[in-house]
Structure formats: C-alpha cells, structure tokens
Chain A
Amino acid sequence: MNRTGRLIMFGISAVALAAVLVKGFAGLPHFGDYTGVYGTVINGIGVTERHATDLVTALNFDLRAFDTLGEEFILFASILGVVLILRELREEREHPHQEEAEEHSFAGASAAWRALALGLIPAMIVLGGYIVLHGALTPGGGFQGGVILAAGPLAVFLAGRYLRMKVVAPQPLVEAGESIGALGYALIGLGGLIFAGVFFKNFLPLGTPGHLLSAGQMPLASIAVGLEVSGAFLVGWTEFLDQAMVIKEQG
C-alpha cells in the first residue's frame, strides 16, 4: 500500500476511533473521582503490613513480585534479541583498534567537557546506588537506579573515548552483572518458596519502617534488579555503539 492509501485508511480509522472515544469518555468516572479498591487497601495497610514507606516499591518487589519477575525476563530476553540481531554478520569484521573509534570525537568534546564527563561517572554511580538501596523508603528502586548506574560508564562515551568505555565497563563484567541480577531475583522468589512456603513471599525480617534495612526482601530484590537493569542497558548500548564505531563492512 502506498503512502496516500495508508493515510486515507488512517483517516477513516481515526474518525471511527474518535466516535468510540467520545462514547467512552462520556461513561468514564470524572478525573479525580477515584473509587479503586485495591489501591485504597494497599495505601491503608502497605506501611504497617509490608514495612516499606514507598508503596510503589512494595508492590513491585513484594506484593506483585511475581509480575516483576516476568518484567525482568522481558528485559533480559529483549537484550538477548538485540545482541542476536546486531551480531557480527558474515561479511563484517570488527576493527577494535581503529583510530576513529579510539579518538572518536563527539561533537564538541572539548577538554572541559571531558573533565566534566569524568566527574559525572562517580557521581552517577553514587546516585544510582543510592536510588537502588533506598527503593523501599523513597521514590526509586532497582529499575530507576539501574538505569542511572548504567549511565555512568556511558559518560566515557560522551567524553569522546568510546573504547575506554569498555575498560570502565568490560563486556564480560556487564554481561555477568545482567545474568547474576536476573538469577538473584529469581533466587529471592525461591527463597520465599523454601522458607515461607509461597513463591516470592517476603521471608526476611521486616524491620522498622523507614530504616535502610527494612521491608524484608525488598532491598535485596532492588539490588538484584538494579544489577540486571544496569547490565542490560550497558550491553544494549555497547551493541549499538559497536555498530556505529567498531564493525565496518568489508571492502
């Protein structure tokens, strides 16, 4: 189908969709008139029963921990897919010592920018670690902190030193981090099965709400997910950057 045909089809469908939406909006409860039971119950008992002050994390790593296991393996499998799709093809060859990759200068990578990027690495890692560890207390958790952790080594690329990024975050290390994180999260679920009789039931002491070591399995689950997410993002970014800078078609 050509572009005009697609646009005409889209126009007809959009009118039909608009009709359905107008009908749907008319029947919706007004914005702010929330009557959900599940959310209300969790807001009422979350802190006293789960000992976490961030109820989003309490849901993620305790009440809905089994769903998070699936979410985590979606991430794992799709990064596996990215690695497979972007593998070295038959007619391609890696040139890891190419001048342009070593000294690839990102637009405007001045000395000051490089110094700033170097300073960003420890700052990002500290911030990421803080967000991961405090997931059960304040906004954050493994997913959010993991992305920030992964952004630390990426700053080396922004500083125009792509191959050094692989020194800061070596491929075997990030792949191991991703796998260990995914495995660790599944093991927490098994721990619940063994020690409490139910898969992903919180089997660790709940502690005092608001303390760093509280909410049972949540800090551990957060660390496992943080490892997995930061590993997965770094593996993915490395694959894409390899395409741009290292793999060159032969001839």
Chain B
Amino acid sequence: MSFLPFAVAAWLFVAGLYGVVSSRNLIRTILSLTVVQSATYVLLLGVGYRHGGRAPIFADIPQVSTAVDPVVQVLVLVDIVVEATVTALLLALAVQAHKRFGSLDPNDLRTLRD
C-alpha cells in the first residue's frame, strides 16, 4: 500500500467537503473546512517522505543522515498559519451572522440581500 498516505489525504478532503455540503450549522461548516485543509498537510508530508528518512533536524544526528524533505514541512507550517487565520475570520463572521439572523443554519441566511 505505497499510496496509502495519498489515499488518506483524498479521504480527508472528500470527508471534509461532505461536511461542508451537508452542514446545518455554520460552526460545523467551518470545522469541516479545517478537515479539508488537513488533507493538504497529509499530502505535503507524504510527498516529502523518504524511506528511512529522519526529521530534517541535525541537532543530534550526523549531518550525512538521510532526512525527509524540509521544504514541504515549511509549507505545512505556512498552511497551518493560514488555516488558523481563515478559521478565525470565518468564526468572526459566524458570530455576526448569529447576531443578525438569530441562527447558525446556513439556510436561514437568505435575507442577506436585504
């Protein structure tokens, strides 16, 4: 099963999307979106993995050790920061939507065009 991590990433992506589509609550929608984003972490780390590779931190291993790709790890770090900011913004919008419409159900937000 050498493609298992990629399959896990795809599964997380689709499961998260299903959560977004089927959601009846904005908080659940936002949490589902974070599941979608976590698929990218698994994918990136899976792409950078090398058989027998160790963490690219040479504090206590010899400099010639085989290590996994540090670039994708940096990208995951960026990804996590972006996810945190996106989640914060969306949650703030959900707070104001609840104040305005008295509900967190996406179907109740139809009066937005007023």
How would residues 4 to 32 of chain B score, 1 for a CB under 8 Å from any chain A CB and 0 otherwise?
11110010001001100110100000000
For A, the interface residue count at a CB cutoff of 8 angstroms equals: 56
For B, the interface residue count at a CB cutoff of 8 angstroms equals: 51
Nearest chain B CB to A94's CB is how many angstroms away? 15
Bound CA span A117–B55, Å: 33
Q: Is the CB of B3 within 8 A of A30?
A: yes
Kindly count the residue-residue contacts between A and B in the assembled complex, taking CB atoms under 8 Å apart. 148
Q: Is the CB of A74 within 8 A of B85?
A: yes
Is A42 close to B, CB under 8 A? yes
Q: Is the CB of B71 within 8 A of A85?
A: no
Bound CA span A38–B18, Å: 36
Please report whether the interface of chain B is mostly helix, strand, loop or mixed according to DSSP: helix
In the assembled complex, which residues on chain A have CB atoms less than 8 Å from the CB atom of B6? 25, 28, 31
What residue in chain A is nearest B55 (Cβ atoms)? A139
Nearest chain A CB to B68's CB is how many angstroms away? 7
Is A138 close to B, CB under 8 A? yes
Q: Is the CB of A60 within 8 A of B77?
A: yes
- A selection of 23 A-B contacts at a CB cut-off of 8 Å is A31-B6, A33-B51, A34-B49, A34-B68, A36-B69, A39-B48, A42-B71, A43-B70, A48-B63, A54-B59, A55-B70, A56-B73, A59-B70, A59-B71, A60-B74, A60-B77, A64-B74, A67-B78, A74-B82, A79-B88, A139-B57, A236-B88, A249-B99
Known: A89-B99, A143-B77. 16 other contacts (CB 8 A): A6-B22, A10-B18, A10-B22, A25-B7, A28-B3, A31-B46, A34-B68, A42-B56, A43-B56, A55-B57, A59-B74, A60-B74, A74-B82, A86-B92, A86-B95, A239-B92
List the interface of chain B (C-beta within 8 A of A).
2-7, 10, 14, 17-18, 21-22, 24, 46-51, 53, 55-59, 63, 67-74, 77-78, 80-82, 84-86, 88-89, 91-93, 95-96, 99, 107
